[in-house]
Structure 1
Amino acid sequence: EKQTSILRQKRLALDERIRGRKALLSPVRRLPAEVLVRIFHETIEFPWKCIDTTEDWRHFDLDREFDADSPWSIASVSRRWREVALSFPELWAFINIAVTEELFEEGDYRYLRFVNLHLSRSGSRPLSVAIYENGDLPFDEL
């Protein structure tokens, strides 16, 4: 019984090593960075799509920054994808900026730091910027 348990543990360890080795042979790992960037660029959606909710205003999904179609999401997949995404500023040349009271509360600068980091990753590339306001701020404050 003890011997069987030991053999099972060894088999599980070997299976795990085999899975790791197979992952190294994955074709996507062999793609050149330039090809990966091209694929990434094609998946990034800009600007955000808006959803009609009434006739007189539109609802914007302000939580899309980390959706699958953003460079942030792409950069979080693996170490290699992060290195590639950070090496190509053109992936960061599109930015959606949401203007809401919650994101610009006094003393809370997380969103501003996020925007600043995104802008710094775009390097000297020309930017495409989309600014959204969801209707909770008076027009004169924008």
Structure 2
Amino acid sequence: MPHNCSKCGATCAGIPLVRPAPDPEIKALLSTNLPPSEAQKAFFRETRRTSESRLADLEARIADAQAKLDGLLQERDSLVWNMQRCTDVLNPVRRLPVDVLREIFAHTMRVAKDSYSVNSGMLSSSPLVGVPYQWKLGMVCLNWRHVLLKYPRMWSMIDVTFPPPPFGSWNHKPQNNRPYLVAAGLLAMHIYRSANHPLQHRIDGNT
């Protein structure tokens, strides 16, 4: 039957709980409300005193075993972490040639839906700037970023979405211009990175 650990309260399922059999005299007295005799009191005091020293010894041994267990668990976690790092380093993606990476990136141009946008909302004083997939791919790792920066074709597709103004506010002036300036700066850098590659663009006004 499951029971709770006396130390941490955790449920210990499948582990039998072993309790020492009570002394017959204690068991007999606990079944009544009679006071123990003087001889019984002396006996129980002595039993409690010797049990306390035994308990202290067990507590010390348990603490020592727990310390050893904690050390083993820490060593195990360190080994698991190191094995995972080795697995990451040996990942075949790291060995993909540049031309293969470029071909994979080119396929994302056909399915990606992200665009430059500023999500102002009706009550937002801090609009959010949306950026297309090229920037997100470059954040994966340094190698991908280097490949993207030297691949103008990836920057030849430009997608811009202008959000609609808040309802009934066609002459609405944004409270914070900085997100729009950030989006414009990123768009300018995007065009610069396309170099001399022919541009493809889509502009959605949503007005």
> Could you tell me the TM-score, scaled by structure 2's length?
0.50
Q: Measure, in 2, the Cα distance between the counterparts of 1:17 and 1:129.
A: 46
Q: Which runs of 5+ in 2 are unaligned?
A: 1-65, 115-128, 166-172
- Residue 100 of structure 2 aligns with which residue? 35
Q: Measure, in 2, the Cα distance between the counterparts of 1:48 and 1:5.
A: 49
For residues 80-132 of structure 1, give each alpha carbon's deviation from its aligned partner in whole angstroms, at most 9, with x where no partner exists.
22222122121111111223467x95843111112112112212222111111
Shift of 1:37: 0.8
Please state if 1:128 is matched with 2:200.
yes
One-letter code aligned to 1:95: I
Q: Measure, in 2, the Cα distance between the counterparts of 1:114 and 1:6.
A: 50
* Identity across matched positions, percent: 27
Q: Of 149, 165, 168, which residue of structure 2 is paired with 1:86?
A: 149
SS in 2 for 1:44: helix
Cα pair 1:98 1:132 within 8 Å, conserved? yes
Q: Which has the higher contact order (CA 8 A, sep 6+)?
A: 1
One-letter code aligned to 2:90: L
User: How many residues are matched?
Assistant: 118
Which piece of structure 1 moves more, 117-126 or 36-45? 117-126
Structure 1 residues 48 and 27: alpha-carbon distance in aligned structure 2, compared to 1, 3 A threshold: closer
> Could you tell me the TM-score, scaled by structure 1's length?
0.70
Q: Which runs of 5+ in 1 are unaligned?
A: 50-62, 136-142
For residues 21-61 of structure 1, give each alpha carbon's deviation from its aligned partner in whole angstroms, at most 9, with x where no partner exists.
11111111111011011011111237859xxxxxxxxxxxx
One-letter code aligned to 2:143: R
One-letter code aligned to 2:74: Q
Q: Measure, in 1, the Cα distance between the counterparts of 2:106 and 2:145.
A: 14
SS in 2 for 1:126: coil
